[in-house]
Every structure is written in structure tokens, then in C-alpha cells.
Amino acid sequence: MGGVLGLIQIDQSTVAIKETFGKFDAILQPGCHCLPWCLGQQIAGYLSLRVQQLDVRCETKTKDNVFVNVVASVQYRALADKASDAFYRLSNTREQIQSYVFDVIRASVPKMNLDDAMSAYGYEIVQTLIVDIEPDEHVKRAMNEINAAARMRLAATEKAEAEKILQIKRAEGEAESKYLAGAVKDIASQIRDGQLQGRMV
């Protein structure tokens, strides 16, 4: 019956694009609306105003010429006051946002602000989170080798230090043994001398 009378309902956080004889006419807000189809009025489509997320993986080069994969989560939403731009100007929103994110990430000194770029198309970038930065496999391998070499150097240093301590302890032990042996020898000599003197008397 709603179709016959031209009544439509638009859900919360959604707007509808109204056309009259195929030309953009208005943005319809959430609620109930009358669209007499006999007067050429129709809904061209709906646009969600909710925040959406797009995960972007982009390979780029760092200042020191290392290639890394940057993984970013881009949160975006259509702007209610620019819903017609958001609906008509971009044919594939996700791909085109991804292209702009690539441009901003890849630029060494960003030449454009991502929010300004997307605002022209009726979208707002709510937040961009860098989720992960993965270096190239060769770089990872080289970094692991550097870390392994550093660990081996540290282990060798600690081993040398332990051996040095052992040698010092060994030398101290030998010196103490010689001292004790000398002391025992002196005591034995004194006892022998004492016994000899006792026999002479």
C-alpha cells in the first residue's frame, strides 16, 4: 500500500537521495516521506551516515630507503550535508578512499590533507590508525642477523668475562695454597726444631 501511495520510510543513520524525472531533487532525512511516483519522484538510493572502516595495506619507502608495508585502518563516514556529492561523485567509494590514503602515506611530505581531499566528495575521514608496519623480507632477515650477531657478541663478552674471573679465582687459589703450604712447612720445621732441641737437653 505504501508503494501505491508513494510512502517510504528511511531508517535512522541513513539518508535517501530523491530524484524527480531522473534529476537530483533532495536529500531525505530519516522518517516517513511521501513520494508520488506519478509525478516522476523516486528514490535513487540510500546512503549510510554510520562510521565505516577500510583496511589499507600500502608499500612505501622510509627516509633511509627501506621498503615497508604500512597497514592502516581508515574510519570514514558520509557527510549528511554533502550526501548528494557522496552519492553521485564517487563510483567506488572504498577504492577511491584507498587511493587517497595511498597518496598520503606514500608522500614524504604530504602535499594534501586527507580530510580536505575526501570532503570534496562528501566524505569525512574520522580516524586513520596505523595498525602495523612490516619491513621487507630482506630487511627483516638482515635485522634478525644483526640482532643475532649482537647477541653472539654479548655472549662472547660474557664468556670472556667469566673466564677472566675463573683465572683470577684460580690464581688466588694457587697463591693461597702456596701460602698455606709455606705456613705448614714453617710449622713442621718449628716442630722438628723443637723436638731436636728437646732431645739435646
Question: Average pLDDT of 77-89?
Answer: 90
What is the per-residue pLDDT across 96-118, written as a single tens digit (0 to 9) for each? 888 888 887 777 433 445 556 55
Provide the pLDDT for residue 108.
Answer: 45
**Coil vs helix vs strand at 189:** helix
Decide if pLDDT at 182 tops 80. no
pLDDT higher at 127 or 45: 45
With 90 as the cut, is the pLDDT of residue 179 above it?
no
| Grid cell of 54 as nine digits | 577500510
Collapsing DSSP to helix, strand or coil, 46 comes out as strand
- Yes or no: say if 197 and 191 are a contact pair by the CB < 8 Å rule: no
Q: What is the mean pLDDT of residues 109-128?
A: 61
Sheet containing 23-28: give its strands across: 23-28, 14-20, 41-48
- What's the average model confidence in pLDDT over 177-187? 71
User: Is 130 strand, coil or helix?
Assistant: strand
Q: Specify the pLDDT at position 59.
A: 77
